[in-house]
Each structure stands twice: as C-alpha cells, then as structure tokens.
Chains A and B, each alone.
Chain A
Amino acid sequence: MADKLRAQQQLEQLQARYIGTGHADTSKFEWTSNIARDSYSSYVGHPPMLQYMAVGLGEPREAVRASMIEKMIQPVGKPPEVTD
C-alpha cells in the first residue's frame, strides 16, 4: 500500500518535471503528440540537422525553424472528443 502510494507520488513528480513521460493510462493521442513535439524540438535543437532539412526543403533555415515551432501546436490534430 505504502509502496504503491510512493510509486504514485514519484510518478507524479516525474511527470511534473518531464512532460513527455507517460504511464499506463497514457492515450495514443497524448503519446503521439509528445513524439511529434519532441521530434520537432530535436530538429530545431540540432542546427546541422535543421540546416540539412532546410536545404532539402529549399527554404530558408529560419522559415523552417518557425514552421516547426508552429507545428508543435496540436501536432497530430485535434484532441479526441471526450466521451463519458
């Protein structure tokens, strides 16, 4: 009982610190959103990678960066309707 509680608290702490971590009830939507956001932030965070993509897309680097940051908002579409 106590261990379960502690595990729960630890998980909450972890979640508060790292938003991308999940748990047994994480939905597909949440997980895929996190994947997409992490991916974009990774591309933006590695300048050589960003440069490579910019060349590949034939767009200025800053434009690619801006569009990626833009795409982090609802990267996999609208959240699913809450059904009770």
Chain B
Amino acid sequence: MSDADFEKIKRLQQERNAATAGKKGSKTFDAANQRTDTSTKASLTDTFDTTLYDKNGDDKFSGYSTSIAVNDDDDDDMEDADAGSRRLVGQYTATKDQMNEFARGATQEDDILMTREKQAQIASRESDYQKQRYDRRVLTPTRADPFAANRQAGVQEDGATYSEIMRLRDLEREEERVMKAIAEREANGEDVVMEHEATLKIKDTSDKENGESGATVDAASTRARKRRWDTSGDDAPAIAEPTEAQAKKPKSRWDETPVPGGAVQKARSRWDMAPSLSGATPVGSNTMATPIHPSQMMAFGTDVSARNAALSDEELDLMLPSEGYKILDPPPGYEPLRAPARHIMGTPAATSSLAGGFMMQEPANASMMAKQLPTEIPGVGDLQFFKSEDMQYFNKLVDGQDENSMSVEELKERKIMRLLLKVKNGTPPMRKTALRQLTDNARQFGAGPLFEQILPLLMEKSLEDQERHLLVKVIDRVLYKLDDLVRPYTHKILVVIEPLLIDQDYYARVEGREIISNLSKAAGLAHMISTMRPDIDHVDEYVRNTTARAFAVVASALGIPALLPFLRAVCRSKKSWQARHTGVKIVQQIPILMGCAVLPHLQGLVECIGENLNDEQAKVRTVTSLAIAALAEAANPYGIESFDNILNPLWTGARKQRGKGLAGFLKAVGYIIPLMDEEYANYYTTQIMEILLREFSSPDEEMKKVVLKVISQCASTEGVTAAYLKENVLADFFKSFWVRRMAMDKRNYRQVVDTTVEIGQKVGASEIIERIVVNLKDESETYRKMTVETVDKILSGLGAADIDERLEERLVDGMLNAFQDQSMEEDIMLNGFGTLVTALGTRTKPYLPQIVSTILYRLNNKAPTVRQQAADLISRIALVMKQCDEEQLIQKLGTVLYEYLGEEYPEVLGSILGALRAIVTVVGINQMNPPIKDLLPRLTPILRNRHEKVQENTIDLVGRIADRGPESVNAREWMRICFELLDMLKAHKKGIRRAANNTFGFIAKAIGPQDVLATLLNNLRVQERQSRVCTAVAIGIVAETCAPFTVLPALMNEYRVPELNVQNGVLKSLSFLFEYIGEMAKDYVYAVTPLLEDALIDRDQVHRQTAASVVKHVALGVVGLGCEDAMLHLLNLLYPNLFETSPHVIDRIIEAIDAVRMAVGMGVVMNYVWAGLFHPARKVRQPYWRLYNDAYVHAADAMIPYYPNMDDESLVRHDLYITI
C-alpha cells in the first residue's frame, strides 16, 4: 500500500469516526435531570453544529453549581424520575423518558451505524453510568490478609492494611472537596493559588487487633484511644475541625444562615437563575475583552500534545540502532497513563466528575494496525480468533524467547497466559481442557499470578459477552480451588465483578452474584467487611452503589443475621450521610435479591433502617422509604408486625414530604397496606388517600406512576370497600388519569389500565365501563385502544351480567366504531371485540347483523391485515353466533369464506381457514354450507402450501373432516389427500407433523387401511430420514386405529425387501406399532418373534439397535400376560449385544434388557447379571454393573430373595432359612 493510499484511508476513517462520534448522542450534562444525555437524538437545547461550537473542549457549566446541594449527586433508585419535580418553564417537548425510551434497556434499538464488531462489545452497550467502571483502578493495592493463619502480631507484610486504605479514602474525599473548592474559586474569578490548611493530620495508627501483643517491627506508635468503626483510625476531631478551607465548601443554601457578605457566593448556587455573563463564559483571563472560546485556547501550532505523545515501539525501532541497546521491562507496578492528552489540556477537574466519565476512544494506532496479527500462537494452536487488543495481554507468547532460560515464575506466567488465551479465544474443546487445567493447578499457580492476568483482561474495553462469560467462569472455578488464598485479591476481584451486578443482561447479573457469593464464602465475612468497608462512604456514587449491591449478595451468601450488626452500625453512622445512604441501600437490595427469604430477619432489617426515615438528609430518607417498600414487597403477605414501629413515621413523613421524597414514601405505603388486616388497611388508606388525591394532579411522571400503583394496591386490599372507592376516589381518578395524554406514554398507559382493572374488581364492571365507554369514540386512536383493552380485561374478569341494556348498546356501538376506525390492525381490538361478544353471549343477537356486515365489508378490504383480522374475528364469534341461532348468518359467512380460499397472502389464508374450521366446528359437518364435498377438493391444493400457518389450519380442518364426516367425500379424494399429507410429514413444526399423522389414522379408518398402508410402505423407501420416521409413526397409528392384524402381514412382508432402509423402516414401524397397541401385543408376539430373531443377529448395529427397541416395547406390552418364553428367547439374543460401545446402541440394548426384566421377572434376568459382576476383565464388569445398578434403582427390594449364595460362612443369610 502506497503512502498516499494509506493517508487517504486514514483520513476517511477519521471522518467516519467523527461522524459516529457526532451521532452517538450529545453527551452533554443536563442540569435539569442531572445526567448526561445518552439519547441518540440531537439535543434541543444544545449546539447542534459541533464543528463550529465545540462543546467538549471545556465545560460550559463550570460556574454553575451543578446541583442543589442537598442532592449532591443523583440517586439512581428511581431511574425514570426527574430529579426536580417542578419545572419553572413549560415543557414543550416530549419528556426525557419518552425520548430515551428506546435508547437503553430492553427496548433499546441497535445503532445501525455501529459496526457489528462494535455492537458485540459490552462497552458499546453500556450507559455512561455503567462506563464509570473504567474509572476505577483495577490494580488497587493488594490487601493484607489480617486473618491469615500464621500471622504474627505487628509483622510487616505486603499489601495495604485496613487503616491505610481508610486513610486513602479520606484523602480522596479531601481531594474531591479541594477540587470542588478550587473549581468554584476559579469560576468566581478569584486567584486560584492559595493556601489551604490541611484538614487531615497525619498520625500514625497502629494495628488494632495485633498491636496489643507487642509489635515486632515498629513500636513507636502513639495509640489512639477512640475507636469508632466509622472513623478511619485517625482522630475524628481532625476532620470535624471547622477550618478556613471547609468554610468555603459549597453549602446548601437551605441550611445556610444568611450572612450579608456571603451573598455573592450564594447566587452561584442558584440553579434556576440565568447565569451572569462573566460566570457563564468558561475560561479566559479577565483582561481580554472577548473571552476565548475553549476550542481556541490552544493557538494553532501550540498544541504540543501530538509531539509529546509517546512514541510507539515501531517508531522507536526506526530511530534507534538495533545493536547495543536493550529493551528494558518497565519496573513492577508501573502503569502508563491512560489518557495523557486529557492531562495536557488541563481540563478542570470538575468536568470529569460531571460528565460521568468521558470516554477517550482507544486510538486506532496506525503503526499498530499495520503490524500483522499472528495467526497462530506458539504452544497454543489454532485459535478461533485473535483480536488486536489481545496482543497487549498476550504478546509475551509470541516474543520467541527461549523458555529454557526462564525462571520458574516466568514459566508459570506464560503457562497461565497460554491457558487463559485458550479459554478466551479457543475452540470449545480447547477451552474445556484449558479450563480444567487452570482449575486443577490453581493452587500451584497461586492467587497472585492468576488474578494479575485475569483481571486486566476483564477490564478491556473491547471485551465481548462470550469472552466475559468465559473469564468469569475461570474466576469462579479458580475461586473454588484457591479458597482463603484469595483474600489479598478480594478487592481487586470486587472492582472487576461489581459492575456485572448492574449490567443490563440478566445472565451477567446472575454470574456476578455467583462470583461474589463464592468469593465471600472463600474469604469469610470479616474479611469481606474489612475489604468493602472503605468503599461504603466513597466519594463516588457509582462505587457506593455497586458496593451496596455487592454487600447484599454477601448477605445472601453468608446469611443476613451475620451481617446485621454491621448494617445496624452503618445505618447509624454519625460521620457521613453517604455511609448511612449506602447502608440503607444494602438493606434495600437484600429483599430484591432474596425475595421472601428475608421474612425471618424482617424485624431486624426494618429496625436497622427505621430511624433513617427521619434522617436529616433527604436522599437518605428517600432511599429508606424505597428500602421499606422493597422489604414489604418481598414479605407480602406476611410480616406486618415487623413494620409496626415505622408505620407512624412513615405516615406522618408522607405528609411532610414533597416531590421525589414523597414518591418514595407513597411507594412504601402502597406496599405496606396489602400486608395489613382489613380494619387497619381501611384506616390507613383513608389516612393516605388525602395525599394521593392531592397528587393526582401532579405533573411529575414518576409521581403519577407511584400514585397509580398505590391506588391499585389499596383497591385490591380487603379492607377498602367499594362504597369508599366510589365515593372518594373514582371521580377524581377518572378526571385526572383518563385523559388522552396518559395513553401516549407506554408505561403510563399500562399502569392506568392495570389500576382501572384493579378498581373494577371492587366496584364492578358497569361502574367503570359507564365512565369510559364514551372514549371508544374518541378521536385519539391510542386512547381508544387503551379503553378497549380496559374493557377487555374487565369483561373477561367480571362478565357482562351487571351491564344494563342502554350501556350494552353504547358499548357495542362504541366497540364497532373503534374496530372500524383502527388505522393499524392490532390484537388488542380483536381481543376486545371477541371478549365483548363472548361476555354478552345471547344478548349479542340484535347486534349480529351489524357485526357481520362489518366483517363482510372488511373481508373485502384491499389491505391484507384488515382481511386477516376480519377472518380472525369470525373464528372468535362463531360460537356465540350459533348460540344466538343465527344459522343463516353463519351459512352466509361460510359461503363467503369459501369464495376467499383463493387468497394469495398466506397469513390471511391461514386465518380464513381458521375461520372455516371454527364454523365447521359449531355447525357440524352435515349442516355445513358449502357442503363438505365441495369444500374438501378446494383444500387439497392448499395442502401443498408451505406456509406454516396455512399448513397448520388446513391439516386441522382436513383432519376434522376426516374424523367426523369422511363419508361425504369419495375414497379417491382421500387417497389424493394422503399423498399430499406425506409432504406434511417433513414440516418443521411438530404440531403439523402430529396432526398429519393423526389424519392418516382417520383416513385409514374411513377408507380401509390397505390403500393408505401401500402408500405409506412405499414412502419407507425415500431418502429423507425425518420423512421415514414420520411414515413409521403413521403406520403405527394406522395399525392402532384399524387393528394390528390389518397391517402386520403387509409390514412383515416388506421386511423381505433386501434393502437396509426399508428393513430399518419396518423395524421402526414395528417399534411405534407395539408402543401404541400396548397390551394388544400379546396376540402378535409369536408372529413377530422370528423376524426379531433375524434382526437381532444382523451384522448391522443400527439394525440390532432398532430391533432392541421393538423388543422393549413388546416386552413392556406383555408384562404379566404369559409370554415369558418368547421374551426369554429374545433376551438370549439380546444379551451378547451388551458389549456394544456406541452410546445409542448400548442405551437401546440396556433398555430392552430392563424391559425384558419387567416381563420375565427379576430373578431370571439377575442370573445373567451375577456372572459378570466380578469378572476379571474391567470391560466386562462395567456393563454388568450398569445392568445391576439399573435393576437396583428400579427394584432393590425385589432383588433380596435372588442374591446368590455365598460360600463364606459370615455371608450366609440365615434369616432366609427360617421356617415355621
């Protein structure tokens, strides 16, 4: 490739990359809901032309306080919720929820611009929140194992201790705080360089557990007396000290005392105010008149980032002479910076914390691409694939160094690498052996070398599902073997595995849970707590969230009681609200994970979080209410007594809260009410109803959903009466929720329908339908659909008994109207109409002419879906038409449908056939119009149609006719149908094949077996296996319906054909035949025995196999019917086949022997078995023991009398010789 070509391709690639980056969503931080916009739509509020107005260059929100201080970072518990429930500006666009509906979750649409490779990668599917996992450092220092068996007091050890980690966390918190303060200052235009008084004072802390016995290394430590669990070991006052720096900390303006001097600063945090101009301009010195746009901050040519970028290995090779130089390994622990460019730009630290982890695209390094990827790795063999990203992990395998000169450690490393590569990229058999080797040698390899290679692989961005699954599997297996050796790596593993717990994929979540639960069993509770404790009040919400989930898994693995004391302490932490928040969240996750298994510990869990309902932090209160909701949901319908103590705070709290907090409280209330007994439920519902009614008019989507849910929960409890609902709720409910707007959003739609149906169960069908029947004529189609669905559900649950005549008229009229006015044919309308007609029953009679004329009109429609729906509707209402004695109309419909049999759309044709079938079923074969003798010949060509739906409906119709009225058609037509049916035996759907086989039986019964049998026997010669098998089944069915003696002679005659396929087919038919005829077999045993004799001594093993299955069915048929002699004879022929090795053959043989055992009795067959149980040759012993085991499992008790007599005196069973 020439350089020019190369440049061109490179340029094109860059353009494409830029294009996809532009399409991938605006990634702006939206202050209104506090999350980045992940929608693929262009934001309405954002600059669209990103080439002119670069928005990634700097943070245009610096200078704003990005959140109201009480809610520092957003809570993800109610992911759909808007954080600010009230907007000051009218909402003119669709809600964020609606716009993002297809952007994530199950409904997510694939981005067609992404390459397929990219789509397969896990990272490309993750939300920004999930991507935060890459921000966590995998290689957190290895932890010390304080619980190790041979640990001496105070001995220095490798790995960070608990107190070191805790100090680190404090440092991080402090760093975060200082960064915030600096950013704020910067935004205020103040001088950035200033002195901060350190809030952390370095003090040595000694090891608590082991310090007392005298440290062997360093005894000069001042011992701090105060040891609360939630301090890091440093004295708490040092942190609490109000210092100069802390005073600058952004504070909530809610709790601030008004100070005149502080006014300027206060204005900063007004999120709802237009920003002052100077503050809004991102960066730039105040001396310049025009503020510099961030994209211009680097003047042309001054951008040194390209020059300062690290040189690639290839470039270095070109520059440096190859001799006299040696490439050194980087020192241990060295980690190259991930994204150096970001640091050079000097982006304010605030950006990264806002944007939720801006992802630097992995640079597609040209010099890297040019290098050919190896096709085969030495010592590994052929792999399924090898990606360029794999190279950085597995390059050691291809460096071609001499393995003889390596140390054991290096060899071990390479060995692990090779095995991992085989597991990750190898073919399934390779994977299997490699996985087993890794598992078996796990303890020899050691935890360190193993995890140091596995964990970075799991953090690779281009990882795909399959690879992740395999690697996780490796961890799982290895964990099991390593047991407590895993302790120092617990945190590293957690960092990698925790993100799996919030994966969209269910199976990934399950895998993550399994790993963490195995990990906690291996490491033990104490170690898990000490490992995860520092993350509980981590500065990063993401870390806290995943930690909470992991803790819940630990609780389910090691038992809730073990964790309860710790949880109690965390939930009451005085030091940080984050800790309390995480603690409550753990409690919330436990019931979600364990379901009703929380019941025994419900009291403890509720007590644990009860006080947090009155927490000073709104977020903690909210999460507490959600946790209570989760507990109550899991405990349903038990456990109300555990909630007794929190009922009062909950209900009074619900009165005090507003907005999101209230939504949480209401949710909890909604889940607790169903647990109560009648009286209390009634009382508490009336208490809460006032608030619910008030919130009916709330504009907040989340609140609406919660209110609807609570209403439906209240309505379904015993204590709430229909009268109460009618009097207090219904009017308001319909006024606020039965509005067109609610039908627009899919989730609201669902919730409204469910709640209405739930209320309907209490107040009765007519009460509800009376109110919504007008909507059937509404102009909005979705609204009509919502009404139809509600009517459908209510009528199918409650019937139409209490619907009076007037309402009935309006209902049918409305339903017809809705049915006719649909623009998209959907099942909802069809079901609704069907249910209505069925519910009304004979009351439908007056409306039938109108309904039928609608159907006829629509059957004539140009659009195929309309015709299909009309035909489907006929099959739904045929029964009711019959009940109403509208034979005339049915006949008419039948005639019309008959005329439409020339339909070209298979889906429609299938529905028409279905409708005809329904009509035939209700009117009977003889009254059918058109007469069957006209109908059936029209069906014969349709049998050739390959469409599944058509096949299914025709075969059903034809089978029904063959069953009920075969005489109406002559035998020749039936034979023609038989030939067509043979093709059906090849159908993919089992139902069709089965129906075809049954139809053979019906036809054979109608016209006698001879002709049908001849057709079938001929079909045994065809090539296709499936067809032969089905023919064999059909022969069996024919034999069953027409008595075996009509079939057996011809069949056995066919066995004389010297063709393997035919003979096998005959044997197979015999097998099905004997299976179907059961006890009738006793009359035919002696007839078929010579044939079986011949088959059992055939050379071909498939022959013997099939013969064995015939023997099995014969033997099972004649149990206890006196054919023991024949069976014993067959057993003698079967027995030598015991040494077959092919799995299918030996399985059939053993089954046959077992069946003969049933027929001739345990004692006789066991006499054959005793001979080989202790045979000198293992090859003999093995199958004999298999027989013995089968017999033992089946009837050990029956074996007792038949055990052989032993020579040894101690083995004689004297008890058996007792006689009276």
Contact = CB atoms under 8 A, between A and B. Distances in A.
Nearest to A32: B1211
B480 interface: no
A48 interface: no
B311 interface: no
Contact of A23 (B1185, B1206, B1213): B1185
A73 to B, nearest CB: 14
B1200 A42 contact: yes
A72 interface: no
Given A23-B1185, A24-B1185, A53 B1218 contact: yes
Contacts of B1199: 38
B1143 A3 contact: yes
A83 interface: no
B113 interface: no
Given A14-B1189, A23-B1185, A39-B1200, A76 B1210 contact: yes
A69 interface: no
Contact of A24 (B1182, B1208, B1211, B1213): B1182
A11 to B, nearest CB: 8
- Interface SS of B by simple majority: helix
Interface in A1-41: 3, 14, 18, 20-24, 26, 28, 31-32, 35-36, 38-40
Interface string B1181-1220: 1100100110011001101100100101011010110111
A20 B1215 contact: no
Give the size category of B's interface with A. 20 to 34
- Interface SS of A by simple majority: helix
A9 to B, nearest CB: 13
Given A43-B1215, A76-B1210, A31 B1200 contact: no
Give the size category of A's interface with B. 20 to 34
Nearest to B1174: A28
B1143 A32 contact: no
B1218 A21 contact: no
B1206 A32 contact: yes
Contacts of A31: 1173
Contact of A39 (B1174, B1188, B1210, B1213): B1213
Contacts of B1185: 22-24, 26
A52 B1189 contact: no
A56 interface: yes
Contact of B1218 (A38, A57, A68): A57
A24 B1185 CA distance: 6
A35 B1215 contact: no
B1178 interface: yes
A39 B1210 CA distance: 14
A42 B1197 contact: yes
A52 B1200 contact: no
Contacts of A39: 1200, 1203, 1213, 1215-1216
Contacts of A56: 1218-1220
Interface in A35-71: 35-36, 38-40, 42-43, 45, 52-53, 55-57, 68
B1215 A53 contact: yes
A61 to B, nearest CB: 13
Contact of B1213 (A14, A28, A36, A45): A36
Contact of B1193 (A14, A38, A76): A14
B1174 A21 contact: no
Contacts of A18: 1189, 1192-1193, 1196
Contacts of A55: 1220
A77 interface: yes
Given A35-B1203, A53-B1215, A55-B1220, A21 B1193 contact: yes
A24 B1200 contact: no
A24 B1210 CA distance: 24
B1218 A77 contact: no
A45 B1200 CA distance: 12
B1189 A22 contact: yes
Contact of B1181 (A21, A24, A43): A24
Contacts of A42: 1197, 1200
B1200 to A, nearest CB: 5
A24 B1188 CA distance: 11
A36 B713 CA distance: 62
A42 B1196 CA distance: 9
Contacts of A38: 1196-1197, 1199-1200
Nearest to A18: B1193
Contacts of A53: 1215, 1218
Contacts of B1193: 14, 18, 21
Contacts of B1210: 76-77
B1196 A20 contact: yes
Contacts of A68: 1215
A10 B1196 CA distance: 19
Given A39-B1200, A53-B1215, A24 B1192 contact: no
A21 B1213 CA distance: 20
Contacts of B1203: 35, 39
Given A3-B1143, A42-B1200, A52-B1218, A21 B1211 contact: no
Contacts of A77: 1210
Given A31-B1173, A36-B1213, A76-B1210, A21 B1200 contact: no
20 contacts: A14-B1189, A18-B1192, A18-B1196, A21-B1188, A24-B1178, A24-B1181, A24-B1185, A26-B1173, A26-B1185, A32-B1208, A32-B1211, A35-B1203, A38-B1197, A39-B1216, A40-B1215, A43-B1215, A53-B1215, A76-B1210, A76-B1211, A77-B1210
Interface of A: 3, 14, 18, 20-24, 26, 28, 31-32, 35-36, 38-40, 42-43, 45, 52-53, 55-57, 68, 76-77
Interface of B: 1143, 1173-1174, 1178, 1181-1182, 1185, 1188-1189, 1192-1193, 1196-1197, 1199-1200, 1203, 1206, 1208, 1210-1211, 1213, 1215-1216, 1218-1220
Given A20-B1192, A35-B1203, A38-B1196, 11 more contacts: A14-B1193, A21-B1192, A22-B1173, A22-B1185, A26-B1173, A39-B1213, A52-B1218, A53-B1215, A56-B1218, A56-B1219, A76-B1211
